[in-house]
Structure 1
Amino acid sequence: MDCLFGSKMLDYEVTVFTANRPFAATFNNVFIKLVGTSGESERKWLLSLRGASAFAKGAVASFTVSCPTSVGKLVLIELDKQPLVVFPEDAWFPAKVEVKSPEGVTYNFPIYRWITDCKVHHFREGTALKGFEDNHHLGRYSREKEIKQRQKDYCWDVYADGIPHCIKADDLLSLPPEVRFSFSRQTEFLFNAGTGLAELQLKGLADNKMGWTNLDDISRVFCCKQTEISDYVQEHWKEDAFFGYQFLNGLNPMLIRRCDVLPDNFPVTDAMVFPDCRCCLVEEMRKGNIFLCDYKQLDGVKTNIINGKKQYLVAPLVLLHKTPDDKLMPIAIQLKQKPAEDNPIFLPSDSEYDWLLAKIFVRSADFSEHQLNIHLLRTHLLAEVFAVSLLRNIPMVHPLYKLLIPYTRYTMQINFLARKTLISEEGVFTKFTSSGGEGMSTFLKRSLFSVTYSSLCMPEDIAERGLEDMPNFYYRDDGLRLWDIINRFVRGVLSYYYKNDLEVQQDSELQNWILDIFEHGFLSHPCPGIPQKLATVDELIKFVTMVIFTGSAQHAAVNSGQYDYGGWMPNMATSLQLPPPTKKGEATEESMLKTLPDVNITVQGMATLWLLSQQSSDFVPLGQHPEDHFSEETPREMIKKFQKELEALSAAIKERNKDLKVPYTYMDPEEIENSVAI
């Protein structure tokens, strides 16, 4: 009645931000409704003199929504778009909406998702709320509706028995649009994948099933694409010091541990390793100078048949000695787990090719251990579980969603592509590695059951492996500093939202998230220490730190150097095609070359490692939050502080690397992607 007699309307200033990304624009009509604690506006058509350009890529457009009375404190907005007769329904990617009330309060509504249909979509005001704090009935309703829809969009699937579950998707287009690659990332990835062999000038060799007859031929192929480190690898791969160095700062720094007592199945004697009697094993172990790498999980894994030939994979034990000049030197290698007359312990004092061949078998075993367990399982597959569970259980308004969503970017699509192109029946890994096929499945199951919570948490892992004092261990040095920086950031944000342990315990969404991870990531197997529920703020902080570290820093450490260390094939053979030696004194250069993989296996491996080491043009470095999910000033300031600490660490790492023959760059924050995205 007041409106009929001209009572003054209250104006809400609405600003719509369309994301600055390809195809984000819409030609459809856009409508909005404001919903508050005291009422709601009419559904308003956002009509602009700018026409469709108001919702162009990167556009910022303002509108006025008038109401006869105040709607109170804004709780949510409703957005929908309707196609015109001329233009078909299209997809729109709004970044956020800001609403300034007549009282002068600005409300922020983060969106950052594709709207592809004509349905009404609810978006909450950006102040983070845990479920038990969400007191408004419309807020609770929208929260429940969002989770129900997400659990339809993000379904669990079983790719293979005994490994972590994944998102259900028949093809790329069945992935929810907001988790797919950007147009630029998709274009680059497909181009790189399709041209890898050509880019490396290897196309004519992809079908060559001949063996190598000399190292110079491998060198000529390798010359087509080199890096500073790959050059170093080619020059030094035969050296014992470099062989030892790679257990610390190469692709797999996760296996080495201090050895206090020799395993019963590794009967090394003082006479073997210290023939000059200057040292003894017991004394060197007591001093903390003896280290062991045991590949026992590879024991008995069925190997592949490639080019019609059986391939070979061993489960070696490697003993290493830290010398007085702080080098880590291999002193004994046993290629199979069970001691026997036909399983000799190889020593540096053996003939050149006996010792070199033993090291080649170790490095090839390390390739399978690294790719399947350390890289695929412990970063890619677990990161996907963390992401799918987040999206199934945690609504956008929850502080955990706001904190973790940047660290899930592209993970589902890259894993979908890995399942399709790398580990599928026709995948490169399946066809061209010794552990591909049936053996891969066996080894992944074993690896999952060997996971412990402490092995995923870097400070505990380093301590358990007795490596706190190991010199020249840059993976540890950089990783521990990164863990501390991430942990301080996570502690700051989560302590701001969770004031006591009871709030953690009564957060049902949080508890559903952690239980989903336990059931679908660890298959409800009682892996030591893996939590099924969270009881304290400290437990929550530790777990979230692990989640961010795993998908960013740890993935970078075991992914980014793949071509650096594997491009020169003899250093990291993807497969070997002669059985391991059973006697000493028989290995020659010719038998070593015959053991190495054929030409086509070599070049397929090179092309794949090159692809997996490429950095995309839309790379987002660790700590960057391109999407503005937090509205409160405190967490926004914490993000800035986090970024400054990462910048300082990056500068320190660069300064340290100036003095290193082999710079360790993989955990430089500037080189770490925020998420598992390649």
Structure 2
Amino acid sequence: MAEYKLETATYTIKTSASLGTLLLVKLKKGPRLFLPEDEWFCSKIVVTTPEGEKLFFPCYQWLCSHEEMELRGGKATKAFEDEHPLLIEHRKNELASQKSYFQWASTYKGLPYHNAFTPTSVPLQLRMPMSRMNESKKAVYAGLLEVKLKGMLGSEESWQSIEDMKRIFWTRATKMSEYVSEHWKEDDFFGFQFLNGVNPCLIERCSELPPNFPVTDEMVKPFLEKDSTLENEMKKGNVFLYDRKTLSGIPAKPYNGEKLTVPAPLCLLYLNPEKKMIPIAIQVHQQPSEENPIFLPSDPETDWLLAKIFVKNADMMTHQAISHLKNTYFIAEAWAVSFFRNFSAIHPIYKLLIFHFRWLLHIGTEARKVLLDTNGMFAMSLLGLDGTRELMIRTQAELTYASLCMPDNIRARGLESIPNFYYRDDGLKIWDIIHRFVKGVVEHFYHSDSEVFKDSELQGWIQEILTRCFLGDKSSGCPETFQNVDEVVKFITMVIFTVSAQHAAVNNGQFEYQTFPPNTSAMLRKPSPTAKGQSSMKTILETLPNIDETVKVACSLYVLALDYSDSVRLGSYPEERFQEPEVKQMMDDFQAELVGLSEVIKARNADLAVAYTYLDPYQMKSGIII
């Protein structure tokens, strides 16, 4: 799409004739004679009748030449509330057109369905602004140019030292990225990241060791509270497990003739008396054997560092493919396709969610083109493209409704009482604020459970989500139908939380935590150690990605975590779609609550050595933008 010169204007049309009962407004843009065609973006039409009544018709769409558009005004309504034959017919035709236009597609069997558009066929009103696209391209090109000028781009050499990796960019370092590069070796910082890093979604409280992880008291006693045992600490709720069994058996991509294996680690973590989460045992692969030893903090330093590097390699591959791409982008895209297919623009849920979903279809098409391309970031990981797809398909069964609802997820993982768990603390507060807002809006429009049950558009939305996102798996817990108001409130809360807060939690820290390879890397060039006492710092440098692999991933991560100049924060609704004053007041209250939470988080962070900023509402976008 070409760059547009944007001009804003207000047009006034006057008439003294009575308009009668105004049901629809038609818009049509004629051709530009002897001039290149252009598109107009209409925000809204406000009609003041000769009798003094003010009627509001929201639009917020691009209008092309010869295109005719019909707009409904007035308050938000559900289908069963329409009485006038013209409005009933208009709504019927609108939904038929939407279902014909927004088609489902499936690239990989076993993964959520997505939209059938190509990057160039996404409709104008759902495309990201060109200013945003250009901002993204500029960031990519600037990063690639910098590393090229430094002689890093294209270099297949190993890094000569850990210090050299700290100087990839001249200006892009942040306080947090510098902290990561200085503290990556420390066990408590390693453990901290499972709670407050970029992937705080996977550890669980451990009450019993898996049979394939034969950790003994003798192994870990030096790291436990004095005179305690592993069994006692598990009973007290101080032991946690990070288990990436879903990676087991997935082949590594071919790499320079080297036979590599994908780590599928088990990592035992301990909440020590100082209330710090530390790793106390690591097994890099699932099946115990002499060639797959359990590494301990008391082992030689580079052995222990290598074991942690392999854990973080598994974590980054899982984070990028599952926590980030599949469990925010892909599932939200499925929700959005069903949304556009099933809701009329006059429906209250459409008005509530459209701004959270606006760019999702465009982003989905771009993500599949860029991230899953043969030259994309996943192709540069140890899994490669084929392994990444296999991992996503394997973990589809783990995608449950409860796993997407933060309060349920935290309880299921047994993480209610861990201290200094800021992702949980901030996230639950945001969940509650969103829930109160959604409850107010939904209850304003649904006065009884029976109204929910007979809302055909609402029911059509959730039915397609079950079949196209959760692939018809009723054991996922996704509702087959909405039975009552509370179910609708919870589901919409989950949707808004996922595209705003959860996406922020797993997206915004990528550059800071994952650019420095010793802390987190998607590619490792040597097999995991099969014995203790045989490694050195040279081994670590030969295992970490080469210079070219490092800088290409760093450029990608910078763009993914970029805070764009036109970002709209959660709680802001710049499009005036609701005319109901009660709902407008709810939006103001929602925004005020988020501002208050932001102030609380900033005050807490001021006293922390490692601030947790990713769920500060001030830094949180209203939807998945990129």
Correspondence for 1:658 among 603, 606, 626: 606
Equivalent residue, structure 2, for 1:371: 320
Contact conserved, 2:482 with 2:488, CA < 8 A, in 1?
yes
SS in 2 for 1:329: strand
Deviates more, 1:341-350 or 1:195-204: 195-204
Question: What amino acid is the match of 1:131?
Answer: A
- SS at 1:111 equivalent: strand
Write the distance in 2 (CA, Å) between the matches of 1:311 and 1:388.
Answer: 39
Select the residue among 163, 168, 173 that pairs with 2:116: 168
Give the structure 1 partner of residue 240 of structure 2. 291
Q: Find 2:14's aligned residue among 57, 64, 68.
A: 64
**Map of 2:47 onto structure 1:** 99
SS state at 2:168 partner: helix
Give me the TM-score of the superposition, normalised by structure 2: 0.96
1:326 and 2:275 equivalent?
yes
Matching residue of 1:344: 293
In structure 2, the CA distance between the partners of 1:115 and 1:527, relative to structure 1 (3 Å rule), is farther
Residue in structure 1 matching 2:484, options 533, 536, 544: 536
Q: Is 1:416 aligned to 2:370, yes or no?
A: no
1:575 equivalent among 514, 523, 539: 523
Aligned counterpart, 1:316: 265
| % identical aligned pairs | 45
Deviation at 1:306, TM superposition (A): 4.0
Note the alpha carbon deviations across 1:586-634, whole angstroms, 9 max, x for none: 1111111111111111111111111111111110111110100101111
Give the superposition deviation at 1:155: 1.3
User: SS in structure 2 opposite 1:97?
Assistant: strand
Q: Distance in 2 between matches of 1:499 and 1:561?
A: 41
Do structure 1's residue 382 and structure 2's residue 359 form an aligned pair?
no
**CA apart distance, 1:324:** 1.2
1:557 aligns with 505
Is 1:428 equivalent to 2:377 in the alignment?
A: yes
Q: What are the superposed Cα offsets for residues 234-262 of structure 1, whole Å, 9 maximum, x if unpaired?
A: 10000000000000000110001111111
Q: Who is 1:354 aligned against?
A: 303
1:214 correspondence with 2:161:
yes
- 1:23 CA displacement: 4.2
2:58 is matched with 110
In structure 2, C-alpha distance between the alignment counterparts of 1:391 and 1:238, rounded to whole Å: 48
> SS at the partner of 1:650?
helix
The Cα of 1:167 is off from its aligned counterpart by: 1.1
Per-residue deviation, 1:194: 3.1
Aligned partner of 1:198 among 136, 140, 145? 145
Structure 2 Cα separation of the partners of residues 294 and 631 of structure 1: 50
Aligned partner letter, 1:230: S
Q: Classify 1:101/1:477 alpha carbon distance in 2 versus 1 (closer, same or farther; 3 Å).
A: same
Which of 477, 481, 496 aligns to 1:548? It is: 496
TM alignment of 1:127-206, pairs within 5 A: 127-170=75-118, 172-199=119-146, 204-206=151-153
User: Superposed, which structure 2 residues align to 1:412-491 within 5 Å?
Assistant: 412-430=361-379, 432-491=380-439
1:541 to partner: Cα distance: 0.5
Q: How far off is 1:222 after superposition?
A: 5.5
Q: Pick which of 218-227 and 525-534 moved more.
A: 218-227
Offset of 1:122 from its aligned partner?
Answer: 0.8
Unaligned runs of 5+ in 2: none
**Alpha carbons 1:458, 1:480 under 8 Å: kept:** yes
AA at the equivalent of 1:409: R
The residue identity in structure 2 corresponding to 1:58 is T
- When residues 341 and 623 of structure 1 are mapped into structure 2, their CA distance, relative to the original with a 3 A threshold, is same
Q: Using the alignment, how far apart are the partners of 1:629 and 1:496 within structure 2? A: 15
Query: In the aligned structure 1, how far is the partner of 2:338 from the partner of 2:149?
Result: 41
Cα pair 1:450 1:527 within 8 Å, conserved: no
Residue equivalent to 2:595? 647
Partner deviation per Cα, 1:378-430 (whole Å, 9 max, x = no partner): 10111111111111110110000000011013222222221111112332321
SS across alignment from 2:14: strand
Q: Which residue of 2 aligns with 1:402?
A: 351
Q: CA deviation at 1:489?
A: 0.4
TM-score normalised to structure 1 length: 0.89
- The answer as to whether partners of 1:504 and 1:537 remain within 8 angstroms in 2 is yes
The offset of 1:227, in angstroms, is: 0.9
- Counterpart CA distance in 1 for 2:65 and 2:96 is 18
Q: Give the whole-Å Cα distance in 2 for the aligned partners of 1:307 and 1:204.
A: 22
Deviation at 1:202, TM superposition (A): 6.2
CA offset digits 1:63-95 (Å, max 9, x no partner)? 11343x5512x2211111212433354311100
- Higher RCO (C-alpha under 8 Å, 6+ residues apart): 2
CA offset digits 1:545-603 (Å, max 9, x no partner): 00000000000000000011012111111111111111111111111111111111111
Q: Which amino acid aligns with 2:101?
A: D
CA contact (8 A) 1:408 1:675 kept: yes
Q: Which moved more, 1:519-528 or 1:400-409?
A: 519-528
The residue number in structure 2 matching 1:226 is 173
- The secondary structure found in structure 2 opposite 1:62 is coil
User: Is the CA contact (8 Å cut-off) linking 2:474 and 2:480 kept in structure 1?
Assistant: no
For 1:302 and 1:497, how far apart are their aligned partners in 2? 52
Instruction: Find out whether 1:248 has 2:185 as its counterpart.
Output: no
Answer with 534-543 or 577-586: which moved more.
Answer: 577-586
Partner in structure 2 of residue 631 of structure 1: 579
Tell me the alpha carbon deviations over residues 331-366 of structure 1, each in whole angstroms, 9 at most, x when there is no partner. 111111112221111111111011110000001110
Assess if the C-alpha contact under 8 Å between 1:505 and 1:534 holds in 2.
Answer: yes
Match of 1:608 among 531, 552, 556: 556
Question: 1:675 aligned to 618, 623, 626, which one?
Answer: 623
Cα distance in structure 2, aligned partners of 1:187 and 1:268: 52
Contact 1:483–1:549 (CA<8 Å) still a contact in 2? yes
Contact 2:103 2:115 (8 Å CA) reproduced: yes
CA distance in 2, matches of 1:248, 1:405: 32
Displacement of 1:111: 0.2
The C-alpha deviation readout for 1:86-143, integer Å capped at 9, x for no partner, is: 3354311100000112222211100001111313211011410000001111111111
Distance 2:148 2:534 in 1: 36
Q: How many residues are treated as equivalent by the alignment?
A: 623
The structure having more radius of gyration, on CA atoms, is: 1
**Which residue identity is paired with 1:616?**
Y
Give the equivalent residue in structure 2 for 1:516.
Answer: 464
- Structure 2 residue 442 is the aligned partner of structure 1 residue 501: no
CA contact (8 A) 1:556 1:672 kept: yes
Could you tell which deviates more after superposition, 309-318 or 462-471? 309-318
Q: CA deviation at 1:273?
A: 0.4
SS at match of 2:151: helix
